[in-house]
Chains A and B, each alone.
Chain A
Amino acid sequence: MYKIVEKKVLSETVKLMKIKALLVAKKAQAGQFIILRIDESGERIPLTIADYDRKQGTITIIFMEVGKTTKQLGTLNVGDSLLNFAGPLGAPSEIKNYGTVVCIGGGVGIAPLYPIVKALKEKGNYVISILGARNESLLMLEKEIKSFSDELYIATDDGSKGQKGFVSDVLQQLIDEKREIGMVMAIGPVIMMKVVSDLTRKYGIKTLVSLNPIMVDGTGMCGGCRVSVGGETKFACVDGPEFDGHLVDFDNLMLRNRRFICEEEESCKLAGV
């Protein structure tokens, strides 16, 4: 059993939890993820690691309540336990000095971006962060990310905070200003990562994206998380979750992610969440 030792409500649908998981915390690195299962009848779901504390032996997860499992997870409190918590899974981010990096986080994708921003800054990169959300209330970790960024920009769909528009608009401005960009890291909704990758492809800027497809085991066994990267089939759980954004078939990913939408709704309705 893995105890919840801290819980924070970041917005109406976004919650943060620190989970006691000594072995996972000992090995966790930026870019990796965990798989959890709440109880005996639960589903295994992957969540990207938002932070870790080796001394306390905790892993921080931040999740948006979108399906049955995340909604149920949101109802748990400090002192409650999760039945299973396995990780760290996937390959860590390739952290090195790229010169100037642009780190883009959209919505709940801001959470896994945070440890990467931190690690890139510690490696001596000049870090420009762009955070985006539908509105101000869905923004998160602004302060934390700011403290490891040399520049921070915000874009909201409705203009409630920062620039009105999309994160890709801010990136376009940086490119137009002829900023030397060594690498772009984008984590967020699939459509956001696609738009960012399409933009940077034109300018030949290396772009990494972190994918979150449907998974079951998370150890390379089932292939449910397969994505087409440069025409080759890759498993996000063991080959990823980070891939070259210019090679990912985002359209296929969006289609596959819709596989169980009806079942998810049925499950939520039945559980009354």
Chain B
Amino acid sequence: MTVRKTKHEMPEQKPKDRIKNFKEVPYGYDEKTAIEEAKRCLQCKDRPCVIGCPVEIDIPGFIKHISEGDFDKAVEVLKTKTSLPAVCGRVCPYENQCEGECTLLKIGEPVAIGRLERFLADYEKNKGVKIPKKGKPTGKKVAVVGSGPAGLTCAGDLAKMGHAVTVFEALHAPAGVLMYGIPEFRLPKKIVEAEVDYIKKLGVDIKYDIVVGKTITVDELLHDYDAVFIGTGAGLPRWLNVPGENLDGVYSANEFLTRVNMMKAYKFPEYDTPIKIGKVVATFGAGNVAMDSARTALRLGAEKSYIIYRRSEKEMPARDEEIGHAKEEGVIFKLLTNPKRFIGDDKGLLTQVECIKMKLGEPDDSGRRRPIPIPNSEKKIDIETAIIAIGQSPNPLIPKTVKGLKIGKWGNIDTDEDGRTSIPGIFAGGDIATGAATVILAMGAGKRAARAIDKYVKSKK
């Protein structure tokens, strides 16, 4: 039998339609396509895909069940390792993880593991989610700070082990970046809410409006709980630090996306939070957050949406899939272009950005070729909105308010492999420990920390 060399296509909304709505772009596989795609899997003995997965999902295991049409069994296998499959099946960079290790790459495209994971999660959601048996209550209490991917994973795993878990969330909505950062058209909020609901059904209590470090301190939590996990993410926006960055019309990607996603400004005035962008929007940066911002701008009615990036296409950190989607939708890429200053009118309103052309020199510390400005190549571009999406740093609120906590050089909390910090009983993981990374790495960190916390609280008298 010969193996099909390419993935089965996943149907999606046409670009000209989807830029007028916030609905999810891909529709997902139907059952028949899922089974056909699952049959491509070679069931390798050495399971390279599992090694590529930060949360160690038994990938050949669940794919085998799909190929046999036993979706319930497949879900069971999938969910022993992940509590957020509908999220991972949408936003994981599979190409660098499971799919990046797939044996089929030798002859063509890998098995569409991400699409199959998404299929299963959606299948289960439509059918009604089954709640797994919880472990016997241990009598131990754990506080989790932040309800993003790291916190939710850690909380879910601890609850399954039988610990009483309370999550403290600063905002009024759960799920951190999954809610405020990633747009509806890439990760529908209904899906996120359903995943959170699953975690709650495991017995996890989520408390909102509690800004740990302000409303209550980590020391107080440590007094009332047997252990504390900190997963407060990389919430601090980075700036270009060029003149004019405080003009009216310049947003951080965090502000722009939080207004649109969490506060639902795309539904203004039905929702009270406004957003204003004008006709021409420029997003600075070329990661996933930048793609999300540029594509969101189109959906809000921008006539032109630029990505302005100082290196070339090859160095863009966003996933190929996101870059592809952005291009299809008409986002204009101005590469090897670096902003020098923002220019406003007499009312302080942003009207232009002055950029300089760049060329690539020798590789720098990151291994990417260093961009060098080309003298006298400055050019002004008319824009009404600028969105700065050049990365985030760890949120400083907790690192600043816990005495004796060892902090790394980027303001991150220093931890070992399993999330132990310099203070016994305090664990941390996700972007707060590593700096801005991916959803799945944060989940992996939450998972490892849950195991370490389990061991720690059981060793306590």
Which residues of A are found within 8 Å of B397, using beta-carbon distances?
A: 219-220, 238
Nearest B-chain residue to A256, judged by Cβ: B248
Question: Are B248 and A216 closer than 8 Å at their CB atoms?
Answer: no
Please classify how large the interface on chain B is, using the bins under 10, 10 to 19, 20 to 34, 35 or more. Answer: 35 or more
Question: Are A85 and B255 closer than 8 Å at their CB atoms?
Answer: no
Which applies to chain A's interface (DSSP): helix, strand, loop or mixed? Answer: mixed
Nearest A-chain residue to B181, judged by Cβ: A221
Per-position binary interface string of chain B over residues 243-268, scored 1 when its CB falls under 8 Å from any chain A CB and 0 otherwise: 00111100110110011000110001
Q: A44-B263, A84-B172, A216-B259 are in contact. Are A264 and B214 (CB under 8 A)?
A: no
Per-position binary interface string of chain A over residues 156-171, scored 1 when its CB falls under 8 Å from any chain B CB and 0 otherwise: 0000000000000000
In this assembly, does B50 line the interface, its C-beta being within 8 Å of a C-beta of chain A? no
In this assembly, does B125 line the interface, its C-beta being within 8 Å of a C-beta of chain A? no
- The residue that A41 contacts in the complex, of B272, B274, B276, with Cβ under 8 A, is B272
Question: Are B252 and A270 closer than 8 Å at their CB atoms?
Answer: no
Question: Are B348 and A252 closer than 8 Å at their CB atoms?
Answer: yes
Which residues of B are found within 8 Å of A255, using beta-carbon distances?
A: 247-248, 347-349
In this assembly, does A81 line the interface, its C-beta being within 8 Å of a C-beta of chain B? no
The stretch that binds A, out of B87-95, B204-212, B289-297, is: B204-212
Q: A43-B263, A267-B274 are in contact. Are A37 and B172 (CB under 8 A)?
A: yes
Which residues of A are found within 8 Å of B252, using beta-carbon distances?
A: 222-224
Question: Within residues 202 to 254 of chain B, which ones have a CB less than 8 A from any CB in chain A?
Answer: 208-211, 214-216, 235-237, 239, 245-248, 251-252, 254
**B388–chain A nearest beta-carbon distance, Å:** 9
Q: A255-B248, A258-B248 are in contact. Are A221 and B236 (CB under 8 A)?
A: yes
Question: Within residues 87 to 140 of chain A, which ones have a CB less than 8 A from any CB in chain B?
Answer: 87-89
A86→B397 CA distance, assembly (Å): 15
Question: Are A220 and B396 closer than 8 Å at their CB atoms?
Answer: yes
Q: A41-B271, A233-B239 are in contact. Are A27 and B214 (CB under 8 A)?
A: yes
Which residues of B are found within 8 Å of A88, using beta-carbon distances?
A: 214-215
**A52–chain B nearest beta-carbon distance, Å:** 13
Which residues of A are found within 8 Å of B395, using beta-carbon distances?
A: 219-221
In this assembly, does A260 line the interface, its C-beta being within 8 Å of a C-beta of chain B? yes
Nearest B-chain residue to A68, judged by Cβ: B272
**A74–chain B nearest beta-carbon distance, Å:** 15
Nearest B-chain residue to A249, judged by Cβ: B246
Nearest A-chain residue to B349, judged by Cβ: A255
Nearest B-chain residue to A85, judged by Cβ: B209
Q: Which of A223, A226, A256, A260 has the most CB of B within 10 A?
A: A223
Which residues of A are found within 8 Å of B46, using beta-carbon distances?
A: none
Which residues of B are found within 8 Å of A217, using beta-carbon distances?
A: 170-171, 180, 258
In this assembly, does A263 line the interface, its C-beta being within 8 Å of a C-beta of chain B? yes
**B294–chain A nearest beta-carbon distance, Å:** 18
Question: Are B215 and A27 closer than 8 Å at their CB atoms?
Answer: yes
In this assembly, does A259 line the interface, its C-beta being within 8 Å of a C-beta of chain B? yes
**B384–chain A nearest beta-carbon distance, Å:** 12
Question: Are A221 and B269 closer than 8 Å at their CB atoms?
Answer: no
In this assembly, does A69 line the interface, its C-beta being within 8 Å of a C-beta of chain B? yes
Which residues of A are found within 8 Å of B255, using beta-carbon distances?
A: 216, 222-224
Nearest B-chain residue to A69, judged by Cβ: B272
A27→B219 CA distance, assembly (Å): 14
**B390–chain A nearest beta-carbon distance, Å:** 12
Number of interface residues of A (CB under 8 A): 45
**B190–chain A nearest beta-carbon distance, Å:** 15
In this assembly, does B273 line the interface, its C-beta being within 8 Å of a C-beta of chain A? yes
In this assembly, does A266 line the interface, its C-beta being within 8 Å of a C-beta of chain B? yes
In this assembly, does B364 line the interface, its C-beta being within 8 Å of a C-beta of chain A? no
Question: Are B248 and A23 closer than 8 Å at their CB atoms?
Answer: no
Question: Are A259 and B276 closer than 8 Å at their CB atoms?
Answer: yes
Nearest B-chain residue to A225, judged by Cβ: B255
Question: Are B236 and A220 closer than 8 Å at their CB atoms?
Answer: yes
Which residues of B are found within 8 Å of A270, using beta-carbon distances?
A: 269
Question: Within residues 38 to 58 of chain A, which ones have a CB less than 8 A from any CB in chain B?
Answer: 41-44
**A72–chain B nearest beta-carbon distance, Å:** 9
Q: A233-B245, A259-B248 are in contact. Are A219 and B215 (CB under 8 A)?
A: no
Question: Are B210 and A44 closer than 8 Å at their CB atoms?
Answer: no
In this assembly, does A24 line the interface, its C-beta being within 8 Å of a C-beta of chain B? yes
Q: A88-B214, A221-B395, A267-B272 are in contact. Are A44 and B237 (CB under 8 A)?
A: no
Q: A23-B216, A252-B348, A255-B348 are in contact. Are A84 and B209 (CB under 8 A)?
A: yes
A41→B255 CA distance, assembly (Å): 18
Question: Are B208 and A252 closer than 8 Å at their CB atoms?
Answer: no
**A147–chain B nearest beta-carbon distance, Å:** 30
**A272–chain B nearest beta-carbon distance, Å:** 12
In this assembly, does B17 line the interface, its C-beta being within 8 Å of a C-beta of chain A? no
Which residues of A are found within 8 Å of B170, using beta-carbon distances?
A: 86, 217, 219
A219→B216 CA distance, assembly (Å): 14
A233→B242 CA distance, assembly (Å): 11
A147→B209 CA distance, assembly (Å): 34
A37→B247 CA distance, assembly (Å): 27
In this assembly, does A228 line the interface, its C-beta being within 8 Å of a C-beta of chain B? yes
Question: Are A222 and B211 closer than 8 Å at their CB atoms?
Answer: no
Question: Are B254 and A223 closer than 8 Å at their CB atoms?
Answer: yes
Interface residues of B (CB under 8 A from A): 170-172, 180, 208-211, 214-216, 235-237, 239, 245-248, 251-252, 254-255, 258-259, 263-264, 268-274, 276, 347-349, 395-397
Per CB-CB distance, the 8 closest pairs between chain A and chain B, nearest first, are A255-B348, A263-B274, A222-B255, A43-B272, A221-B235, A86-B209, A223-B252, A84-B172
Interface residues of A (CB under 8 A from B): 23-24, 27, 37, 41-44, 68-69, 83-89, 216-224, 226-228, 233, 238, 249, 251-252, 255-256, 258-260, 262-264, 266-267, 270
**What are 17 inter-chain pairs, A to B, with CB distance below 8 A?**
A27-B215, A41-B272, A44-B273, A83-B172, A84-B172, A87-B215, A216-B258, A217-B258, A220-B396, A222-B255, A223-B255, A224-B255, A255-B247, A255-B349, A256-B348, A259-B248, A259-B276
